[in-house]
Amino acid sequence: MEVLAVSSEFFPLIKTGGLADVAGALPGALAEHGVRVTTLLPGYPAVLAKLDHTEPVHGIGDLFGGPATLVAGRAGHAKLLVIDAPHLYARPGNPYVGPDGRDWPDNPQRFAALARVGADLARGLLPAWRPQVVHGHDWQAGLLPAYLHFSGDAADAGTTRPPSVMTIHNLAFQGQCDAGLLAALGLPPEAYGIDGVEYYGSIGFLKAGIRLANHVTTVSPTYAREICTPEGGMGMDGLLRARGSAVSGILNGIDTHVWNPAKDETLAERYSHKTRDKRAANKQALCTRFGLDPARLLFGVVSRLTTQKGLDLLPTSLATIHDLGGATVILGAGHPALERAFQDAARPGEMGLFLGYDEQLAHLIYAGADALLIPSRFEPCGLTQLCAMRYGCLPVVTRVGGLADTVIDANEAALAAGAATGFQMAAADTPAFERTLGRVAEVWRDRAAWDRMQANAMKAEVGWERSAARYADLFRGLIA
Ligand code: ADP
Ligand code: GLC
């Protein structure tokens, strides 16, 4: 079975968050189920630079303001199609914002182009290859089902339009633009309506995808329920409820080859669940780097620093962590105010801070910290708790979204049954956070209990096996 995935990020070529990890790992996992995925990506400089075995396969005279070439290529085992369109993508740095931190003003055209080319491929742009299902990720691919639905003559309806699946990784990013751009984006007037791309008087990219895709998934079953409520729906809950059983949740996994402490070259010492005492060398390395005492209970953070992640709770609770015999290592980047709050709170011997993005340090934190703090206000799935568990670092999470679905709380019953893998808290507020920190410290003092939890966490299934089977079933169901 041939599937076209359409994504704006793809690990290891371009990444700002978990979307890249998922788009990068899912094709390999689906291959085991007889599904061959080709991924369409924007030709950002980082993507074009890392592409192997490139071959131009199609020329486009005018793609929203300039010429473009569709280039086929590979990255490892991954099959890629890349839109080389310098007028849209030949810009350094972050894919969405310029050096001033603001969205690129032509983002509507940049991502409409991605969706447009995806829809053209679905309709048979390349004579030798045609996908049976198209799978769009997030708002950047949101217009794809709209282009499939609205632009095409009646004669070519039916079999020439493969079914589409839209996956929501984060409802907080919806992609909206001025309704006046409708014609410039190549959409006919009839597309602008409640059953099309119209969203509160603008054009809504994600809205269009949710309304018009044959099926909508999101990245955990709990988030799939949350987004159908007014509290969690961010304005889309009515539309999502209206789609009924066409909305479902499929949990993310992580690539267990990339995230494998037994083979991880970046660590101070490699280990498996059987040799987990060797984590101590990684804790030592981490503590030496940040001037911390390895005898203390070490909390880690690996995160974007945004309101979503709830880490604004942490600066005021650093003193509590210290009183509980703990210390903290923070790796993160994001809102300047939050970055400043951490800089102001930094005290030698209590907290280590690295503001920025550092893949290698992330690995060392998962391998060296005792627990990972993820007090998110909402979390569609979350991958850091999965990486942490795989590396024997116990996640401390709010009971929301994918965090609720992947971490087994160390309550009395789970501890007695030997099933616990982490700590859940009811809400992202200071009292709940500090109560939970207290619980972590209590279990930490019971070394046998902690060790058991660590073994459970490292043995938990965090890979793609089960979820890839669900995507494969979904795709097959749509073409049956
Ligand atoms: P989100 O996509 O909402 O940021 P996820 O938990 O799904 O959250 O994915 C985050 C991914 O980005 C993980 O692979 C994590 O290791 C990585 N990551 C986040 N922040 C950093 C950072 N500052 N440095 C390195 N890796 C990071
Ligand atoms: C988003 C979400 C995160 C999820 C990731 C991959 O960035 O914030 O929870 O894990 O996408 O699906």
166 CA from centroid of ligand 1 (Å):
22
114-134 pLDDT tens trace = 999 999 999 999 999 999 999
479 CA from centroid of ligand 1 (Å):
34
Nearest CA to ligand 2 atom 7: 18
pLDDT tier for residue 155 given thresholds of 50, 70 and 90: low
Write a three-state SS string for the chain: CEEEEECCCECCCECCCHHHHHHHHHHHHHHCCCCEEEEEEECCHHHHHHCEEEEEEEEECCCCCCCEEEEEEEECCEEEEEEECHHHHCCCCCCCECCCCCECCCHHHHHHHHHHHHHHHHCCCCCCCCCCEEEEECHHHCCHHHHHHHCCCHHHCHHHCCCEEEEECCCCCCCEEEHHHCCCCCCCHHHCCCCCCEECCEEEHHHHHHHHCCEEEECCHHHHHHCCCCCCCCCCHHHHHHCHHHEEECCCCCCCCCCCCCCCCCCCCCCCHHHHHHHHHHHHHHHHHHCCCCCCEEEEEEEEECHHHCHHHHHHHHHHHHHCCEEEEEEEEECHHHHHHHHHHCCCCCEEEEECCCHHHHHHHHHHCCEEEECCCCCCCCCHHHHHHHCCCEEEEECCHHHHHHCCECCHHHHHHCCCCEEEECCCCHHHHHHHHHHHHHHHHCHHHHHHHHHHHHHCCCCCHHHHHHHHHHHHHHHC
The confidence score (pLDDT) of residue 265 equals 97
CATH of domain 2-253+464-479: 3.40.50.2000
Residue 159 has pLDDT above 70, yes or no: no
For ligand 2, what atom is nearest to the CA of residue 172?
Answer: 8
pLDDT tier for residue 427 given thresholds of 50, 70 and 90: very high
170 CA from centroid of ligand 2 (Å):
6
Place domain 273-459 in its CATH homologous superfamily: Glycogen Phosphorylase B; (3.40.50.2000)
Where in the chain are the domains? Answer: 2-253+464-479, 273-459
Mean pLDDT of 272-290: 97
379 CA from centroid of ligand 2 (Å):
7
Candidate of 10, 140, 219 to mutate for ligand 2, largest count of ligand atoms within 8 Å of Cβ: 219
The confidence score (pLDDT) of residue 93 equals 82
Residues with a CB atom less than 6 Å from ligand 2: 17-19, 22, 169-170, 219, 252, 379-383, 402
Of the ranges 28-32, 33-37, 89-93, which one carries the lowest mean pLDDT score? 89-93
pTM of the model: 0.97
Mean pLDDT of 165-182: 98
The confidence score (pLDDT) of residue 156 equals 58
